[in-house]
Amino acid sequence: MTRDISDSEAERHRAKMVNRKVVQDAEVSEKTIEKGLLMINTGPGKGKSTAAFGLALRMLGTGRRVGIVQFIKGAWSTGEQGALALFGDRVEWRTMGEGFTWDTQDLKRDIAAASKAWEEAKVLMADETIGLVVLDELNIALRYDYLPLEEVLETLQNRREGLHVIVTGRNAKQPLIDAADMVTEMTLVKHHFKAGVKAQSGIEF
């Protein structure tokens, strides 16, 4: 049910929106730089990888190819992987992790898996047909010192012109945050897991 709006209220709203549009248009017109972005999704809240895969879908919608490297998650089947597989060779998906450290309980194995994933990431970043590379849970690999932060930073900062990269995972390192063009922190307000609800297909994976 909609409320009644008087002519004077409608006119005030129109005048307000006209002024708002002038300000917005002026701000947009000032932005002239176009470049490949380094983006980070971090924080304790849910949705970091999910948002990155949404960005991958947007990139695919523009006709460009996408590369995805999963540094930690093991080779279990996920809904997003199944969906993006429908795009065929327009998506290069690499699940390189063997699970979280509490699953493997083997530091040498975790470091070896992360190193292999990083080498694969560099291959995808060098592929000029790819417009976006998703480095899923790279922040976790850096947090546990599975990879040398300095090398990762140098490679990301010196990536080829025009390439967009998005890094996900909790506890992003400050030097990586400083180097990024955009950083989004997911804030945990409420999570069903705390109420005893298990991870469910189509929501968590």
- Bridge partners of 167? 40, 135
**Structural domain span for residue 134:** 34-195
Using CA atoms, how far apart are residues 187 and 182, in angstroms rounded to an integer? 16
Q: Which helix (H) or strand (E) holds 69?
A: strand 65-70
Half-sphere exposure of 151 (CA within 13 A, CB side): 10
Domain containing 120 — which CATH number? 3.40.50.300
| Per-residue pLDDT at 137 exceeds 70 | yes
Residue 71 lies in a domain: yes
What tokens does 99 get?
């699970």
Q: Is residue 6 a part of any domain in this protein?
A: no
Say what the pLDDT of residue 79 is. 87
- Are the C-beta atoms of residues 137 and 175 closer than 8 Å to each other? no
Is 14 inside any structural domain?
no
Q: What is the pTM of this model?
A: 0.86
Burial class (CB in 10 A: 0-12, 13-18, 19+), 138: buried
Residue 205 forms part of a structural domain: no
User: Any idea which of 12-26, 98-112, 121-135, 137-151 has the lowest mean pLDDT?
Assistant: 98-112
Q: How many domains does the chain have?
A: 1
- Beta bridge partners, 151, equal none
Domain membership of residue 2 (yes or no) is: no
Mean pLDDT, residues 163-172: 98
Q: Report if residue 24 sits inside a domain.
A: no
Task: Write out pLDDT tens, residues 173-189.
Answer: 999 999 999 999 999 99
For residue 88, being part of any structural domain is answered with yes
Q: What whole-number percentage of the chain has pLDDT above 90?
A: 68
CA nearest neighbour of 78 among 62, 95, 61: 95
pLDDT tens readout for residues 85-119: 999 999 999 998 766 555 666 888 889 999 999 99
12 within domain boundaries: no
According to the model, what pLDDT value does residue 181 have?
Answer: 98
